[in-house]
Each structure stands twice: as C-alpha cells, then as structure tokens.
Amino acid sequence: MPLALLVLALSSFAIGTTEFVIMGLLPEVAADLSVTIPEAGWLVTGYALAVAFGAPVMAVSTATLKRRSALIMLMAFFIAGNLLCAIAPNYWVLMIARIVTALCHGAFFGIGSVVAANLVSEDRKARAVALMFTGLTLANVLGVPLGTAIGQAFGWRFTFWVVTAIGIVTIAGLIAILPKDKQEAQSSILLEIAALRNIRLWMALSVTVFFAASMFTLFTYIAPLLRDITGVSPEGVTWTLFLIGVGLTAGNLIGGKLADWRLGTALAAIFAAIALTSAIFFYTSRFVVPAEITLFLWAAATFAAVPALQVGVVGFGKDAPNLVSTINIGAFNTGNALGAWVGGVVIDAGFNLDRVPLAAAGMALIGLAATVLTYLSGRAQTAAAAGE
C-alpha cells in the first residue's frame, strides 16, 4: 500500500479524535467554562450539525479543485479550528471553533476515500479505502481514551493542542507525499446532484440518521453517566472509553461480514441488538463490571451497522458516489446532533442520567422501523440496488 494511504489514515485519526474526544472531556469542559453538562453537550451537537450542513456545501465549494488541493485546504480548516478550540476563552468561542473544525469533516472523508481508491490497482481499492478509515476506528480505540487522559491530567485545552500538532504533521504529509492529481478537477457537482432522485437513497440516509442518533444519545453523556451513576473514577472513564473503542473495532469487522451476508436482515438484527443492549445498560449502569460488559457489547453491536449502512447508501446512489459518500457522513452527523439533543432533553427534564440509555433504545427502535421500510419492504428492488 502506498505511503500516501498512511497519511490519509493519520488524517482520519485526527479528525475522528477531535470529534469524539469532547465526550470524554465533557465534565472538565463544563466545569472550566461554567456551563451545565447538557449545555456542554451542545458542543457535540454543534459539531455534528456543522458536518451535516457543511459537508455538501464544502463538496460544492471544492468541486472545481483537484482532489489533492481540496484535501490540503480542508486540513487547513481542521488545524485552524483545533487551534481556536485550544485558546477559546469562553463557551461561545469554543462552539464557533468546533463548527470551523467540523467544516472539513464530511468533505474530507468523501474526497479522501476516492483519492485512496485511486492510489492503488483495481483489485485493491476496497482495502485502500478500508485502510484510510482504519484511522477513524483507531481514533476511538486510542485517540479518544488517550485524549481524555491527557485532558484530565493537563487540562482539556492541552488535548486540542496535541490534535493541532497532529494536524500540522498531517498537512505536511499531504503536501509532501500525496501524489499530484493526474486527472482534471473533479467532475461538476451538478451531474452528481441529478443522480440523487432515488427515494430509497433518502430512506437509506434516514436509517443512517437514526443509527447515529441511537449511538450518540448514550455516547455523548457516557462520561458523566459513568462518574455519577456507575461510580467510575476519571481514570476509569478513560479505560472504559478504550474498552468501548475495542468493541467498536470488533463490531466493524463483524459488520462487514454481516453486510455481505444479507444487508437488510443484518441491519434489522443490529438495530434490535443496539436497542437491547441500551435497555440492559439501564439496569447494569449502577454496577461497574456488568456496566463494562454491557458497554462492550453495545459498542460491538453499534459499529456492526457501519459497513452495512455504507454499502446500502452507495448501492442506492451508485450514480453519484462522491456526493453520496459526503452526504452519508452528513447524515451520520445529523443523527449525532439529534442523539446529543435527545439525551440533553432527558437530563433537562429532570430525569436521572441512567434514563439516557432508555432514550437511546427508543431511537434504535425507530431505526429498526426505518430499516424495515427501506430494506425489507422492497427486497427485490433493494437487492438490485444495494447488491443484497
């Protein structure tokens, strides 16, 4: 595999870390900026909404650029946003910084996956794209727990200084190692927009939204829940995040095989598993060992959906792969914002943090219903479109 793929993987590691690490640092950020936990949770929502709405805008804005140039420009946004996070004097500046950082997210993954595939021969394209996205998986396994530990030891701002440094290394690698484009600038975005008329594509995107909502209703508030309900120490939260990262990785590997088996059926089973493990966590969250086991199983069930969701969306939007990939990232982050909001509403309504997993289970059941409507109610068309 070309060295340039490792640079792309490092890029996805940095982007994934800055998105998710805020959840491990939510108590520290809330205390330092004198805001409530639900208000701090809006930093997750703001980032996610910026990705959701910014992804197609950035895709249009970079459509006339060569892909290498577009990636370098997007990484510059990433560095500027994280630098602003590190020096933000108050909550609203931090919110703006998170939004600036998020602007690069969706378009970078959409364009980067195309670049990764073009770096290798035809028979290695899938592995190349998978290697790039390995950085995102490692962000959950290593980046989030390490970033949380650094933030707890040296202050949450120091974590963003570290991510900024990683971004600088990454942009240097993109400039030095990423091959210059042999092709012309990317094709007109209008040609891809014209292909987005398939109603089942938008139904599949809605499944992605509810998947992410079910995940982030719980994941956004996992640190305060572990501290206040389970009684885990700050250091224990770090190790729990590592355990969750391992579960996410295992689920991603399992999900790839399930997606190849029977896409619609696999997604329905996965949503049922997410709902079940979320509901079980309501009961086990007060006991450390059962809570840790439940969270590992919940993480594995959750990320098992990712390959199936990607296959389904690209299958329905095969005539617009670049834009569909970017929009799907936006759909994921729309669900991220929805989930963070739902969890915050539960807390603001006066319920205990241990009620948040029940809300997550409810979102998973909605996702199950959307899956049945999208994939299982029209199996023949789905099979033709998504390769089931």
pLDDT at position 315: 73
Are 38 and 91 in contact, with CB atoms under 8 Å apart? Answer: no
Q: Between helices 105-118 and 67-87, what is the axis angle to 10°?
A: 140
Do 109 and 174 fall into the same domain?
Answer: yes
Do 172 and 263 fall into the same domain?
Answer: no
pLDDT at position 5: 86
Q: Which of 147, 171, 186 marks a domain boundary? A: 186
Do 266 and 370 fall into the same domain?
Answer: yes
Residue with tokens 């640079």: 7
Query: What is the distance between the alpha carbons of residues 182 and 138, in angstroms, rounded to a whole number?
Result: 31
Are 299 and 176 in contact, with CB atoms under 8 Å apart? Answer: no
**Taking Cα atoms as reference points, which of 164, 171, 167, 168 lies closest to residue 84?**
164
Do 262 and 148 fall into the same domain?
Answer: no
Query: What is the distance between the alpha carbons of residues 304 and 295, in angstroms, rounded to a whole number?
Result: 14
Do 198 and 305 fall into the same domain?
Answer: yes
CA-CA-CA-CA torsion sign (145, 149, 155, 157): negative
Query: What are the distances in angstroms from CA 219 to CA 107, 130, 213, 337?
Result: 24, 24, 10, 12
The CATH number given to whatever domain includes residue 152 is 1.20.1250.20
Query: What is the distance between the alpha carbons of residues 47 and 381, in angstroms, rounded to a whole number?
Result: 35
For the chain, what is the domain count?
A: 2
pLDDT at position 184: 47
Q: Which of 171, 186, 201 marks a domain boundary? A: 186
Do 261 and 297 fall into the same domain?
Answer: yes
Residue with tokens 């807390």: 347
- Amino acid making up residue 178: L
State the maximum Cα–Cα separation within the chain, in Å, rounded to a whole number.
58
Do 160 and 291 fall into the same domain?
Answer: no
Q: Between helices 199-219 and 356-371, what is the axis angle to 10°?
A: 170
Contacts of 134 (CB under 8 A, 6+ apart): 9, 12
Q: What is the mean pLDDT of each run of 10 residues along the chain (388 residues)?
A: 84 89 87 88 85 78 80 92 94 93 84 77 64 77 86 92 94 88 55 71 90 91 89 86 84 73 84 95 93 94 80 71 74 85 90 91 94 72 45
CA-CA-CA-CA torsion sign (117, 251, 270, 226): negative
Do 174 and 306 fall into the same domain?
Answer: no
167: containing domain: 1-186
Do 131 and 276 fall into the same domain?
Answer: no
Do 260 and 112 fall into the same domain?
Answer: no
Helix and strand numbers, DSSP H then E, in the chain? 19, 0
Written as six digits, the tokens of 300 are 């594995």
Do 162 and 269 fall into the same domain?
Answer: no
Q: Which of 186, 209, 236 marks a domain boundary? A: 186
Do 10 and 153 fall into the same domain?
Answer: yes
Written as six digits, the tokens of 238 are 């770090």
